[in-house]
Structure 1
Amino acid sequence: MIKFLVFLVVVTLYFHGAHTQYDNLPVTQSCLGCICEGISGCNVTSTCQGEVCGPFRITWPYWADAGKPTVKNEGPDSATAYRNCALDTFCSALAVQGYMQKYQQDCNGDGKIDCDDYAAIHKLGGYGCRGQLPSPFAERYQQCKKIVGGLGK
């Protein structure tokens, strides 16, 4: 949970400093933190393992669907753009935001789009989010959600 708190502080400070460009992002910072906690224990020092990279464990297709955000104005077609973004805390959070903007939907049928839907989209994909969340992701996400509370978006 300490990693989540560090992540939340970093992302909050960055988004706060650039709030005009990032005012209408679909996922709240708390929700992003709980998705991060669920997927990797919010390990911001994690590297690539197989086809997934970074604290959000994103793949190249996920990053591409998210709009190919980059770090330090690197060109999105650079051979290192995906990896650099996925391993960067802010850029990978921005990739999650872009993916959610593209695929946001009511996955659990409760009539609203909230953090539970975004967690399902992140873990199960934009076209498979109606399925059951697997362990241990589901447990870590729910535990974080209980601690943070009030995750509307």
Structure 2
Amino acid sequence: MATRTCCLLLLCCSVATALAASSLLYRSPERENPTLPDFTEACLGCICDATSACNLTIGCSAGLCGPFLIGRQYWVDAGAPVLAGDSWHRRGAYESCAVDPYCATSTIYNYMSRYAQDCNGDQVVTCDDYARIHYLGGLQCQLAIHNYAYYRVFRQCMSKILPQQL
């Protein structure tokens, strides 16, 4: 449990730094969509925890890469962000970005900026909606998710961080 909490705290620090750096290194999503309500470091940390237990050394497998298990189309839909000095045309640019916590965070932020919506029908866009968008995709986030292990881990993580909001 201590290792998981430590990893979540390290990711949150990485996420905060990455969100600040994204405007310098990547396409700047905050200018395109000035508000992503409830998209916080804690939210992103729980999405990471539910996706791969925030495994920062996971690499690529079965077409998914990095701690957020980002697929190539997800990366493209997010504007194909790349590491500083890289080009999205370069073979391996997607993989390099997806396994880098900062670039992966920028990818997630860009994707959420593009697809932010109320997926669960509660009339407000919250972290729960972002978790659904990440796992189910921006165009099918209304599908049932309650029986997936991903969603159970996500809700458990969020209940520890923000128990009053669940």
Structure-2-length-normalised TM-score:
0.83
For structure 2, list consecutive stretches of 5 or more residues without a partner in the other structure: none
1:40 aligns with 2:44: no
2:13 to 9, 18, 27: 9
For 2:47, the aligned partner's letter is I
The alignment partner of 1:139 has SS state of helix
Find the counterpart in structure 2 of residue 121 from structure 1.
Answer: 133
CA distance in 2, matches of 1:84, 1:25: 28
RMSD: 2.2
Residues in 1 aligned to 2:125 and 2:158: alpha-carbon distance in whole angstroms = 16
Q: Return the match for 2:105 from 69, 82, 93.
A: 93
Which whole-Å CA distance do the structure 2 matches of 1:71 and 1:17 have between them?
11
The alpha-carbon distance between structure 1 residues 19 and 28, as it changes in their structure 2 partners (threshold 3 A), is farther
Q: Which protein is richer in helix relative to its size?
A: 2
CA distance in 2, matches of 1:11, 1:95: 11
- More divergent stretch after superposition (67-76 vs 115-124): 67-76
Verify: 1:104 aligned to 2:116, yes or no. yes
How far did 1:125 drift?
0.6
Equivalent position amino acid for 1:54 in 2 = G
Among 139, 144, 150, the residue aligned to 2:157: 144
Q: Gaps (5+ residues) in structure 1?
A: none
Matched positions, count: 152
Counterpart position of 1:77 = 89
Over 3 Å counting, the alpha-carbon distance change for 1:18 and 1:117 in structure 2 is: closer
Secondary structure, aligned partner of 2:70: coil
Query: Structure 1 121/48 Cα, relative in aligned 2: closer, same or farther at 3 Å?
Result: same
Q: Secondary structure at 2:8's aligned position in 1?
A: helix
Deviations 1:90-127 (A, max 9, x none): 11011011111111110011111110000000000111
| Aligned mate of 1:56, from 68, 73, 83 | 68
Structure 1 counterpart of 2:16, one-letter code: T
Q: Answer whether contact 2:18 2:103 (CA < 8 A) is retained.
A: no
Structure 1 residues 58 and 16, CA gap change in structure 2 (3 angstroms): closer
Quote the Cα distance in structure 2 between the aligned partners of 1:57 and 1:70: 16
Report if the CA contact (8 A) 1:108-1:130 is conserved.
yes
Q: How far, CA to CA, are the matches of 1:93 and 1:151 in structure 2?
A: 26
Match of 1:135 in 2: 148
